[in-house]
Every structure is written in structure tokens, then in C-alpha cells.
Amino acid sequence: MIAEEIRGAVALNPAQHPKRIGLRGAGVARAEGAPSGAPASGSAGAVLNGQPSARHLAQMRGAAFKAGLSAEFADLMAETGVGAAQAEAVAAGLASFREASVPFVRGELLNQAALMSIAKRAVMAGIAVPGTDPAAITQEIARVAGEEAMALMARNEPPVRPSALAFVEDTPSRADAMADGLLARMQAGHVPTHGREFAAMRLDDIAKISAGGGYVRGRRHAMMWGGAMGADDFRAALAIASNKVLLTAYEAAESQIKKASREVSAPDFRPINTVRVSGGVELAKVLENGEFGQGQITDAGEAFVLETYGKIFTLTRQAIVNDDLGAFEQSARMFGQGAALTEARIFAGLLEANGGTGPAMSDGKALFHADHGNLAETGAALSIASLSLARTAMRRQKGLAGEAIRVDPALLIVPPELETQAERLVAEISAASADDVNPFQQKLTVLADANLTDPAAWYIAALPGRPDALQHAYLDGASGPQVFTRDGFETDASEFKVRLDFGAGFVDHRAWYKNPGA
């Protein structure tokens, strides 16, 4: 780990501050200022007139190359007077720092000049450690490098009022920040805010930060070298990002028929019973000193149940290493569309059940039935005349006790084959005479649903709940599909389960009317 702990979170917002760490020399100047001269390790003899000897430089390069460092780091070790006995320990500390810095270099939060400035101060601190214990030297270099990186970030952050620290718990988590950065690559038009630093990182770099490089929340968001903050953050970030992509695709593909349905709550999988109450009587005149008469309450109920639907998609380790976020995004988007299609088919299936007469109601009759007054006696094509008959039939609907009720037709539901004709019938036109006036202009909203298989049948309906008719529900009010994640064991991958607990049904027939068409 680069730093065991840094007290006090320091915010970093690279998008708001164009002087990113180390860019244009701004960060380097702040990191300089370390005292020059020979270190306490007694290696002054290796540096002559400010220049390392060829033999000493060769020793440093040997140790650096062994640790996987570039010649630039070897030169730094030689220039700062690292002794031969310390070379391998110093190189090991620098290698740890260099490895941890890779995601931030790729994300343009640090550049090479800033890295070398930080490394110089860390090396000087390491070789000043009393004794020659390699582990102590390596640990001190890693610790100081981490603190220097945080110091650069702190000095590049503008002052913040103390009260701004009061809402730490309300700020997004590290997983939320990672997800925000991932969404910048997964959703066109998404502009990252609290996760800007992750937007330019590869998947494997974000995974490494989650596993080993810490990240803590301060005023807005802050990076912190080292200190594992929970390896599950990367997986949680993927779940958050995929859920948002999934829901966006789900909402874009939602059923048109759903717009004619009212959502209700469902705490469990037991049947959802809906009770309709009708007073059934008008108010009677009460004479002076007379008594109020008793009214009769009539009720009737229908029920429907929730069902569970779902599938699993995966993000493999190879896809993470290859930074193949596109395949993951496509999977999430397709499953979102799939959830919407599942609902759409359920809604359409209700209308077309039992040969097009709809589901059976509690009175033993189908939803669309002559006795219900909501089925055309003979099929007719969409026209002003057929719409007029349908509207009249809905206006003539009676309550449970036979009382007149108000049903206002508002929605015209059609298959794609009738969409154009439906739009013509509700379009606003300038009539030359009273006979040419369109009585339905802008009074009905056309809903064309491709899941309706009968190309001739059409429906009109009232707005959801006016009165109640078609209803749908999700478990515990969790609207739409939900995403769950776990690490695979049999396969080297993260698994994402999409689950939809959904149900729909008709609770009354009075708000809908069907014409089989012609």
C-alpha cells in the first residue's frame, strides 16, 4: 500500500480545476523544495561535483531494471545519492508507487513530471531511515509517496467553508462515483459529475483501485492512495451503472398499453384484490324533522397476482482486462428492453385473451361482452361514426347498483396498422363548415402498440383510475426491473441477475370498450 492512512479527506475535482496535478508544471513547483545535499546514509562519495559516477549510475540502473523501473527512475536514484546497499529497497518502494499511480496517469490526474517530483521526495525520506533494513526503507518510500500525492491534490483544491464538511454522509459513495464515471462511457450524453476521475480509466484500473487503492469521501470526492476500502465497490459500481442503462432502455421501450393502466402496490405475491364500492342511490329529500334514509353499499372485486421474470448476464474477467465495456453496456440495454417487452406482452395478452374477448371477470363473463356494454355489436373500421358509437356506449355505463356514472373516453389504443387512421381522426383541422368539424380532435390520445396482433381491432379507454379498470403492480413498489450481482465461482466472471416481479389485470370492465374492426 502506498499510504496506510491520511486523516481528513481532501476533495479533488479535476474537471473544475484545469491545473490538474502536475500539468503545465503547476503541481511540480509545489512539490519541489526538498533540501539538497548528501543524504544521511553516507553515500556522498557516490556523487562527484553533483554528478553520479558511471559505476554508481550503473548500480542504480541495475536495481531499477530489476524492479521493473525505467531509466528515469534509476537516474533519480543516482542523483539523490542512493547507496548501493539501499538500491534494491529504494527501487522496490518506487515500484510500488509507480504501479499504484498507473490508473491516475491514464486518467490524466498525474503526469510524469509530477510522479518524478513525488518520487524524489520519497526517495530522500527513504534513505534517511536509520539503519539498513530494506523493508523499513521500502515502506517509508511508499508512505511518503502517498502523502506527497495527497499533498499535491490538497494544494490544488480551492478553500472550502468549514460548514461544507457537514454533509459527508449525504455525498455519493465510492461505488456511486465509479458508476458515474462508467456511465460516461456507457450512456451517450452522460456528463460525469462526482465520478469524473473514473471516466477516463480502464475497467481493470478501476478494479485495482477498488481492491487495493483506497478512495474516501470528504467534501465532494477525494482520492487516497492505498488502504483497501472494500473490493466490492467495483462490482457495486458495475451494478449501479448497468441498472441505470437498463432502466433507461426499459423506459424507452415501455408498453403503450401501460399508459392506460394504474400502478398499485403489492407487498407480496398473494392475489391483489381490488374492491369497488357503489353507493347506488341518489340523495333523498329529508322533510322537516324527518329521518335520513339508509343507503345500500354494493361491492365487487377482481384479483390478479405477481409473477417473477428474469435472466442472468455476465461480465468476464477477460472483458475487464480487455476494457470491453461495450459488450456489458449492450447486455444491460438489451435486458432493459427485454423487461419492457415482457410487460408489453402481458398487457397485450390481457386484451387478446380468450380469442380477443379478454380475461374472465368475477361475474363469469369475459371482459369485453355484450352484457358489459363495452363490445361493439358488429365490427367497424375506425371512423367518426364508429368512434361516436363507442363513446356513447361508455357514457351509458352504469355503476354496480345501476346508477349512472361518468366515464370519459381519453385513449385510443390501436395496432400499428391503424395508427395513421387513428391520428387522422384526432388531428386538429380547420373546418369550412359546421358539418366538417371533427368532434374528436385533440380529445383522444392515440396509443399504438406493436404487441397487438389483430390488425383490425381497436379500443378506447378512460384515463387510469377514472374509473379503475386496468391495473399493474410491482413487488414492494420497486417499479421496473431490478439488478442483483455476485461473483461467479464456476466461471471467472461477475454475474448480474435481472429480476422483474410484475403483475397486471383488469379490475372492472366499465372504463374500456372494444370494436373488433372490419
pLDDT of 214 higher than 50: no
pLDDT tens across 233-289, in order?
888 888 899 999 999 999 999 999 999 999 998 989 999 887 666 655 567 788 888
Q: Read off the pLDDT band of 441 (50, 70, 90).
A: confident
**Given this model, what pLDDT does residue 40 score?**
39
> Which H, E and C letters describe 125-149, residue by residue?
HHHCCCCCCHHHHHHHHHHHHHHHH
The pLDDT assigned to 481 comes to 93
For the chain, the distance separating the N- and C-terminal CA atoms, rounded to the nearest angstrom, is 75
- What is the average per-residue pLDDT within 503-512? 95
In this prediction, residue 131 carries a pLDDT of: 73
* Alpha-carbon distance values, 378 to 390, 440, 461, 515 (Å): 12, 21, 19, 8
Q: Is residue 178 within 8 Å of residue 223, measured between CB atoms?
A: no
pLDDT digits (tens, 9 = 90+) for 177-213: 899 999 999 988 899 988 888 888 888 888 887 765 4
CB-based contact 364:263 (threshold 8 Å): no
User: Which among 386, 363, 362, 364 has a CA at the least distance from the CA of 375?
Assistant: 386
In this model, does residue 229 exceed pLDDT 60?
no
Q: How far is CA 58 from CA 64, 98, 127, 159, 261, in A?
A: 10, 21, 19, 46, 78
Report d(CA 110, CA 26) in Å as an integer. 11
Q: pLDDT value at position 208?
A: 80
Is the pLDDT assigned to residue 133 strictly greater than 70? Answer: yes
**pLDDT band per the 50, 70, 90 thresholds, residue 399:** confident
Residue 305's pLDDT is what?
A: 92
Residues 6+ apart with CB under 8 A from 291: none
Look at residues 331, 334, 352, 343 and name the one whose alpha carbon lies nearest to residue 306.
343
Looking at the chain, the whole-number percentage of residues with pLDDT higher than 90 is 34
Domain borders along the chain are 23-155, 321-515
pLDDT score for 194 = 86
Quick: pLDDT tens for 13-65.
333 333 343 433 333 333 333 333 334 344 434 444 456 678 888 888 888 88
Q: In the predicted model, what is the mean pLDDT of the chain? A: 78
Taking 70 as the threshold, does the pLDDT of residue 7 lie above it? no
pLDDT at 279: 57
Q: Which residues contact 121 (CB under 8 A, 6 or more apart)?
A: 31, 34, 144, 145, 148
The CA distance from 203 to 345, in Å, is 36
Tens-place pLDDT, residues 313-361: 888 888 888 888 888 899 999 999 999 999 999 999 999 999 999 999 9
